[in-house]
Structure 1
């Protein structure tokens, strides 16, 4: 019987991982819509197996509605909501959870099949197993997030939402990276350490910005201070420092301010990185990938401003969340290319010593 292929490439495995990454991307977007429509607390129970089925009869719908009426969000936000209106928010949350279950199946079943058929390169087995474990953990964190809004709050805790989003994006990055590894085979070379550090810093900053965006979403900070470039007519936001360190997580003015400032830093850093890559005329697609990241950052920043000044309409909010995932994907691919390639110079370029 064949052994696992060590250091080999597998296009089938790569396509499976890229498909799963696409589903995670869809999950992130649907999660954003679920949040923007206020649907996240409409299902008040966590039933990993039986919860896959929606209410099938009128009595089942009434039972689900009564459970929703027992939480603070109904009494303080949606009092008087009709059954039809409840069904509208229920379906978004149900679709979000169903997509999570689908992702679990799409990943777990082929993973087992590839293992049994010995088609999964040895060096990728542990990575895929880790991604599977993180997927299971994501389900637990999702319920941990939802539970924060069922008793004393009318929404979920912002920090829990940011953690939930952050783990989804980590899985997304891991799927893309591992898919690239499976498609291209084992690493052959490494880039100069300076370029690797620069690309890593850029990716880390993009990921941090996504987490800050999660805090903005959780605190509903996008609905306040909708002027730009000022905030309420001034530069410094009126922060309620009585909250202490929690102000960095819950204060609407501060979380939006932090999100804005890091956006400016990212624009400057990403643009400088792309200019430097182009200036050194890096081969192996590195200059092009740096340019793509810079363009994605500028597009996302402009989209963020438009979304803000229009007070986060549903379609713009969902598009902005999708844009964040795409920026993260481009930065992930850029780092992978940097770490896998030895930059070469065209004859007209200066000598590269890294960033």
Structure 2
């Protein structure tokens, strides 16, 4: 009977589809989402996100093809507060400068949709979807479509009276959904490509450390969304103190108290600094523990990579603050945040417990 069971398992492996092509495809789409997050940061930092005032999922894939169309879109832009209060009189040439970045951002989102939907249909029709992943892939497709709708929901908030930027709350929802989609793509792809490693006595405690670091990284990134949303990085451009104080004056000045967490510049920036510092300490602690307790291998390298990534990101964050958020450095800081999240997920994946046999 044991021989029959082994034979059956071997036959199942031979007849089941190879998961590697699907895993590589998912990692490729995750890479495109990473680029999308960086493009979103550049769009926000340059004030380009409100330059396209129409939601046209199909026809919007084409840029303006005539001078009349350029003038029509520019006239639409002139009706919103951002033009009147920030960019008044910068002319059609100035409008084109911000338009192209937002158009590229939206085009890249459409390309991500195609890069996911078309191969999904191809793998599905050919019977190459690994067992147990069809539901997850359909959910990822749904989340991708939802992200486009949430993006427009965010942009539309910037057209309201007296606004020159989008709602920070909607910005954080948009960012959070993008990060969740990226994490799901990365984790699913890794799971199809990398079987669980042989268990090690130190895995369980290290997994707890890395999990804590991963949650702190995610919290710091969402807190960074509020920093971006209310432009809190343009104030308190010193480090490590804020206006000579560890905790800035006026931390609790807004009522009700919860608004300080999302709308009060000193509190929002302090919270981002605090969460980033805690995430860095947790990641470095996990890297040190892995260095001392794990043998050479993928799990050890992943934990050390997490420590290196968090050091790079922390340095970029300080530089971005001290230089008063230049667009190129702010974009790099946002892109590197995804690198830290990637390193945390790769380390957590390498330390995961093997599945119990059923």
Matched, 1:170 2:180: yes
Cα–Cα, structure 1 residues 234 and 107, in superposed 2: closer, same or farther, change >3 Å? Answer: same
The alpha carbon displacement at 1:81 in A equals: 1.8
Partner residue, 1:21: 30
Partner residue, 1:46: 55
Question: Deviations along 1:238-285, whole A, 9 cap, x unmatched?
Answer: 333236422211222111100101111112111111111222124542
Name the CA distance, whole Å, in 1 between partners of 2:45 and 2:64: 23
Matched, 1:157 2:167: yes
The question of whether the paired residues in 2 share the 8 Å contact of 1:281 and 1:287 is answered with yes
The alpha carbon displacement at 1:234 in A equals: 2.0
The alpha carbon displacement at 1:188 in A equals: 7.6
Once superposed, what is the RMSD of the aligned Cα atoms?
A: 2.1
Question: Deviations along 1:143-164, whole A, 9 cap, x unmatched?
Answer: 1111111113111111211111
Partner residue, 2:329: 316
Name the CA distance, whole Å, in 1 between partners of 2:159 and 2:78: 11
The alpha carbon displacement at 1:104 in A equals: 0.2
For these two proteins, the number of residue pairs brought into alignment is: 339
The question of whether the paired residues in 2 share the 8 Å contact of 1:69 and 1:75 is answered with yes
Cα–Cα, structure 1 residues 189 and 46, in superposed 2: closer, same or farther, change >3 Å? Answer: farther
The question of whether the paired residues in 1 share the 8 Å contact of 2:17 and 2:128 is answered with no
The question of whether the paired residues in 1 share the 8 Å contact of 2:216 and 2:276 is answered with no
How does the TM-score come out when normalised to structure 2? 0.89
SS in 2 for 1:235: coil
Name the CA distance, whole Å, in 1 between partners of 2:199 and 2:294: 17
Name the CA distance, whole Å, in 1 between partners of 2:352 and 2:13: 25
Partner residue, 2:219: 208
Structure 1 range deviating more: 278-287 or 255-264: 278-287
Mapping 1:163-312, distance limit 5 Å:
163-184=173-194, 193-237=204-248, 238-239=250-251, 240-242=253-255, 244-282=257-295, 284-312=297-325
Partner residue, 1:353: none
The alpha carbon displacement at 1:53 in A equals: 1.3
SS in 1 for 2:132: helix
Partner residue, 2:42: 33
Structure 1 range deviating more: 90-99 or 223-232: 223-232
Structure 1 range deviating more: 117-126 or 283-292: 283-292
The question of whether the paired residues in 2 share the 8 Å contact of 1:165 and 1:211 is answered with yes
The question of whether the paired residues in 2 share the 8 Å contact of 1:4 and 1:121 is answered with no
Instruction: List gaps (5 residues or longer) in structure 1.
Output: 343-355
SS in 2 for 1:146: helix
The question of whether the paired residues in 2 share the 8 Å contact of 1:9 and 1:182 is answered with no
The alpha carbon displacement at 1:184 in A equals: 2.9
The alpha carbon displacement at 1:193 in A equals: 4.2
Structure 1 range deviating more: 36-45 or 230-239: 230-239
The question of whether the paired residues in 2 share the 8 Å contact of 1:5 and 1:119 is answered with no
Instruction: List gaps (5 residues or longer) in structure 2.
Output: 1-11
Counterpart selection for 2:19 from 10, 15, 40? 10
The alpha carbon displacement at 1:287 in A equals: 1.8
Partner residue, 2:81: 72
Question: Deviations along 1:162-220, whole A, 9 cap, x unmatched?
Answer: 111111111111111111122235x5876754333332222111111111111111111
